[in-house]
Chain A
Amino acid sequence: MLTVKNLDIHVPGKTILKDVSFDLKMGQTLCVVGESGSGKSSLLRALNGLIPANFASISFHPQGRTPIDLEGRWQRKPGLPETRWVMQDPISALDPKLPLGVSIGESVFTENPTTSALRVAVAEALRDVELPSIFATRLPAEISMGQAQRACLARALIARPSLIFFDEPLSALDAIVQKQVAATMKRLQERFGMTYITVTHDLGFASAYADHILVLRDGRVEANQPADTFFNAPESSYCEKLIQAARDLGGLPEIPVQGTKSLEPQPC
């Protein structure tokens, strides 16, 4: 549904990304893996039209719709239609002055965000991410990181997007909460048939959830292959080292878990 060919990002005097191509199929998870500074966040920003980039071609083809002319659209406003973005730091991604319910609901109900329809939709979204509906009245300062990230997930979910971008969605959370939120993400993906693009530096996460893996290093693609072949036969020596390092640290099981389903949803 999202096909990108030869994406480059330049800033004066520096190339941030060079020659990135991928083809993402519906319902899949693409993990973009790389060290900090490898350009993985810039890729996300470019795909959303937040920073200028050059493409050979880009086509976005959401479920049952005609392809959308992205470059023309980005002249007017950033963002992809029918997509949502979940950010790294959930607390700063929520307006500190607004109750969660308003933050979650406003993107679909800009006109009158106090109607009962909104309240129902927000409560449903909160339930989907395993938060009690009372959280609609809480302020971001009153909840934990994990709960905030779930709220961000709810905000994304309420719009029923076909594609969600995740920018290091778990790195602000501690280990147990990471696992729980990741399980929720997975469950929702299966339930709503959503496509995920996840930027991460955590190979363990990638091995558990990715269908396809894109490894970036200094703005260049080191590997671009399905997850199972990647962990068994990586495309470059750099990736081998990366996998070995993750194994040594215990972040990866010795025999890689393949593709889907590894963690059962757990109560929050």
Chain B
Amino acid sequence: MTEPSRQPPVAAPPSPAHRPDWTYHLAAQRGALVAVAIFAAMFTLFACEHPAGFSHNVINTAANKGALLALVAMAQTFPVLTSGLDLSVGMIFVLTNCLASALVSGSPMRVALGLLAVLGTGLACGALNGVVVVLGRLQPIIATLATGSVFYGAALWLRPSPGGTVDDGFAEAMTGSLPGGIPCSLVLLLALVLVVWLPYRRSVIGRAAYAVGSSRQAAFMSGLPVARAQFVTYLLSGLFSAIGGLLLTGLTYSGEANAMLGGSYNLSSIAAVVVGGTSLFGGSGGAVGSIFGAFVLRTIGDLLFVLDLDPLWQPLFLGVVLLFSVGLSSLRLLRIKNRLDVYR
């Protein structure tokens, strides 16, 4: 008998082992880069056309509005990475807004305790979601729709009518700008990326979240902490929604149990996540892309304003941009040679 075993693979096709590393890194970040590019193009147009030119005030307002959605979009990113979804982010956002308008004022000590209470509430809401989805094994989409309703109920109970106030110093610290005109809200986003997102991405629990989104079964078979990873994503989702709620309170100086607002942030956050290059099937993407996705969506409104178009066009325009940016990620379909790849 011959021994095929001794033979090296003679016909090795052109080996991919020699492809330079950066091409892989680039390919992995493609979705986020597309969002960055769209944002850069829109913002340049915006800056060129703005009648008042580029004042600190303009930038600060734009940054605050963008950061508001960016925080909720980051919150949404975590569950989406595990191929989950959190339809309660908007309601946690509204609930923590109401809570902050009641607690974050008075003596510095009270402000600090109030802040902790608000963030703690966000975590608690996230924990509830986590318990229901992970332990209760309910579909995330319906489970968080239900818990979101509960959170909104709590917000309504706290603030049957709009009102409340917030500490001036705190509001200024959230929404003002640093000397040199750098908006505080952007610094906040950057800090969150550096202190929470990047370490999370490189932690075992973060890796496990990507793994769960990629293939839950395979993640389990590889001995990864599947349940813990999912739970943590909802926890972080609650926390980031609460930070968004704090920023909202800093901007409006009041609290309002506004169901429309919560609902619109729910959907916009999903749109921002998708524009930012994160797959709704889970396993790929990241929070940095979502930040840019959020800024893309928010710049659209400003762009219509400076271009002197009727604001009524905004929803239509928003839809077009959404289709366009999602369409970009499907461009690869034009290049495929194997029809089966369409379904992968």
A and B: bona fide binding partners = no
